[in-house]
Structure 1
Amino acid sequence: MHVATYLLFQGNAEEALHFYQRVFRDTEITAIHHYPRDAGEMAGKLLPSRLRIGDHQLMLADSPNPHDFTFTPSTSIYINFENEEELIEAHDILCEDGDIMMPLDDYGFSEMFAWLNDKFGVSWQLNLP
């Protein structure tokens, strides 16, 4: 069995895919697919595609149907980092035009922790155990 996180965007999934590839050092786009040219408004938008972050698969796609829902911080992607430098680097990039819910700090349960929503509204918890 393999579990992946699936993120559904409204037209900017490819921008997010390349943004996340820039945020994390150990990443690889393992599949990228686009709607065909004859797909009307969806032409060129992202069909389900995959980005590996460490040992986790993140799936991203653009929704062909408009919807009223978006991302919520009640569900977040939690990452344990191996060193402070990588955590700070990821934190600083993810914070660009994002919202910080818990600033980078020592909260007792973790040597270094931050919780934020990135510019796409995706929630991230960054941890240095």
Structure 2
Amino acid sequence: MEKVTPFLMFQDGKAEEAMNFYISLISDSQITGIVRYGANDSGDEGTVMQAAFTLKGQEFMCIDSNVKHQFSFTPSFSIYVTCDTEEELDNLYQKLNEGGQALMPLGDYGFSKKFGWLNDRFGVSWQLNLPI
């Protein structure tokens, strides 16, 4: 086995928008490769056939599905971020929550200084933690 990589399937052509949003929020992050559907491919021309990006060194892969599925993302799988400061956590939570849904609003739940869990506007689930 070479490695294990989280893989995100977006619908409605949102993969590139999501990647750009995520790398704009988290330093030391970048899109490392994009292959797009062409005119004669099975997906919508110009959308993401396959892409790779990193968030703080963690590699992710993603696609724009050319098939409409009856499912999307679930909070059962989330991106867990350990923040260095309360300001960093508050800022990230606020930006990710715009157009999203709070699952656990920012607060002290006893296991950290501050914690929040949300689904962003793309449906991806995030847990943000400021450790004790």
Query: Same fold per TM (> 0.5)?
Result: yes
Structure 2 unaligned residues grouped into runs of 5+? none
Shift of residue 62, structure 1, vs aligned partner: 0.5
Aligned-partner residue type, residue 115 of structure 1: W
Matching residue within 102, 106, 119 for 2:108: 106
Structure 2 CA distance, aligned partners of 1:84 and 1:25? Answer: 16
The whole-number CA distance in structure 1 between the counterparts of 2:91 and 2:61 is: 23
Please report the TM-score for the alignment, with normalisation by the length of structure 1. Answer: 0.91
Mapping of residues 22-101 of structure 1, within 5 Å:
22-39=24-41, 42-101=44-103
Q: How far is the alpha carbon of 1:39 from its aligned partner?
A: 2.6
Shift of 1:92: 1.1
- The 8 Å contact of residues 83 and 129 in structure 2, kept in 1 or not, is answered as yes
Amino acid at match of 2:61: M
Q: 1:35, CA displacement in angstroms? A: 0.9
Given the two structures, how large is their TM-score scaled by the length of structure 2?
A: 0.89
User: How big is each residue's C-alpha offset from its partner over 1:33-57, in whole Å with a ceiling of 9 and x where there is no partner?
Assistant: 2111333652101022111101211
Q: Report the Cα distance in structure 2 between the residues aligned to 1:55 and 1:76, rounded to whole angstroms.
A: 17
Match of 1:125?
127
Number of matched residues? Answer: 129
Instruction: Say what the alpha-carbon RMSD is for the aligned residues.
Output: 1.5
Contact 2:43 2:65 in 1 (8 A): no
